[in-house]
Every structure is written in structure tokens, then in C-alpha cells.
């Protein structure tokens, strides 16, 4: 597994080793020992999958006071995955980073706790699978606006994304309840 640091400390891009033969390929996407050696959590309590059509944008989501670490990968299609650092005291708080994840590149994104997370679907459809470290808690759930002008995530594509009503009502950075130390 190749592990690459990103512009946001703690956010890691993982590339599993591919074993190719005449039948196709094989790869380990999660290995408890390898994750522990890389300093990543090796205990995940839930696997989630979502299926979306082109132009759908889900995000930017976080759980206040009950943060989840997320391990994100794409089973089919291509997404632009974006994270915003919300960590109290972090030198990169308020900064974002974006990554193209696809079933072709098989990249995996590790997102630590206290990041807002979201993605936009760039292919006809996309299936996204992600493991989380802590339980889902709808009361703790918060949405930061995908198009907040202060954070200013540069999403690919010009069309207005398809949003849930919850995400369309996301909070601007200036008014959002953010994690505190």
C-alpha cells in the first residue's frame, strides 16, 4: 500500500498494490496490520455505500462532538472528493483539499475526525463505499455549504449540482457550529 501525505496533515491518499494476472487483478483494500503500521485506525464500526447519478453533490458533512474518521473509495465511476479541515487549533483549519477518486485509479482517501467531507459525481453514476470509525448520529450531523465563499472549494464542472434539501440548506462557514477544543 502506497501512502501519500496531502496538503492537509493527517489526510492520506492510499494506493493499494495491484496483483494482475490473466484473470484480472487482486488488491487488498483494508488490512488491519498494514493500517496499524501506517498509523491509521484499524477499527471501523460501519461500512456505508451510496449510489449517485452524474452531477450529484453530497456534502459537506461532519458530526459535531461525535466525529467520524472516514475511509473512502469508489467501486464504480469517478468522483471529486473534497475535505475541509475543521480541527480546532489546526494550522490548516478552514482549508480544503480535493481528490479525484475512481474505480479506475482505485485511490482510497483517509479522512481523520473533524473534517467536513463531500463529493461530486463526475461519471454517469458512481458507487462510493466508505468505512467509518464512529457511529452515525443524526443529531450531531451538520452540513457546511458546498459553495461557501470563504472556504471556496473549486469543484470541477460548471453545472449546478444536484443536492439534497439538507445540503441545499447547509451553513456558511461564518455561521456554522464548528468543533471546539
Ligand X SMILES: Cc1cn([C@H]2C[C@H](O)[C@@H](COP(=O)(O)OP(=O)(O)O[C@H]3O[C@@H](C)C(=O)[C@@H](O)[C@H]3O)O2)c(=O)[nH]c1=O
Output 16 or 52, the one with its CB closest to ligand X. Answer: 52
Output 117 or 145, the one with its CB closest to ligand X. Answer: 117
Output 17 or 51, the one with its CB closest to ligand X. Answer: 51
Residue 145 touching ligand X (CB under 6 A)? no
Residue 118 touching ligand X (CB under 6 A)? yes
**Rounded Cα distance, 91 and 89, in Å:** 6
Q: Are 151 and 74 in contact (CB under 8 A)?
A: no
Residue 173 C-beta: closest distance to ligand X, Å: 17
**Rounded Cα distance, 169 and 60, in Å:** 11
Burial 83-112 (b: 16+ CB within 10 A, else e): bbbbbeebeeeeebbbbebbeeebbbbbbb
Residue 73 touching ligand X (CB under 6 A)? no
From first CA to last CA, the distance across the chain in angstroms is 33
Residue 164 touching ligand X (CB under 6 A)? yes
Question: Which residues between 37 and 66 bind ligand X (CB under 6 A)?
Answer: 48, 50, 58-59, 61
What positions carry a catalytic annotation?
61, 130
Q: Which residues bind ligand X (CB under 6 A)?
A: 48, 50, 58-59, 61, 70, 117-119, 136, 164, 166
Amino acid at each position: 500500500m502506497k501512502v501519500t501525505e496531502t496538503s492537509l496533515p493527517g489526510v492520506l491518499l492510499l494506493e493499494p498494490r495491484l496483483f494482475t494476472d490473466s484473470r484480472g487483478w487482486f488488491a487488498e483494500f483494508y488490512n488491519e496490520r498494514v493500517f496499524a503500521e501506517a498509523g491509521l485506525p484499524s477499527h471501523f464500526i460501519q461500512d456505508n455505500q451510496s449510489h449517485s447519478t452524474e452531477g450529484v453533490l453530497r456534502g459537506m458533512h461532519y458530526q459535531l462532538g461525535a466525529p467520524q474518521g472516514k475511509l473512502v473509495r469508489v467501486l464504480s465511476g469517478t468522483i471529486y472528493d473534497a475535505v475541509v479541515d475543521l480541527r480546532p487549533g489546526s494550522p490548516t483549519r478552514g482549508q480544503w483539499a480535493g481528490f479525484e477518486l475512481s474505480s479506475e485509479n482505485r485511490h482510497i482517501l483517509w479522512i481523520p475526525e473533524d473534517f467536513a467531507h463531500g463529493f461530486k459525481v463526475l461519471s454517469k453514476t458512481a458507487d462510493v463505499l466508505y468505512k467509518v470509525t464512529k457511529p452515525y448520529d443524526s443529531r450531531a450531523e451538520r452540513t457546511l455549504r458546498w459553495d461557501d465563499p470563504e472556504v471556496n472549494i473549486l469543484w470541477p464542472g460548471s453545472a449546478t449540482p444536484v443536492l439534497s434539501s439538507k445540503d441545499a440548506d447547509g451553513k456558511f462557514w461564518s455561521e456554522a457550529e464548528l468543533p471546539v477544543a
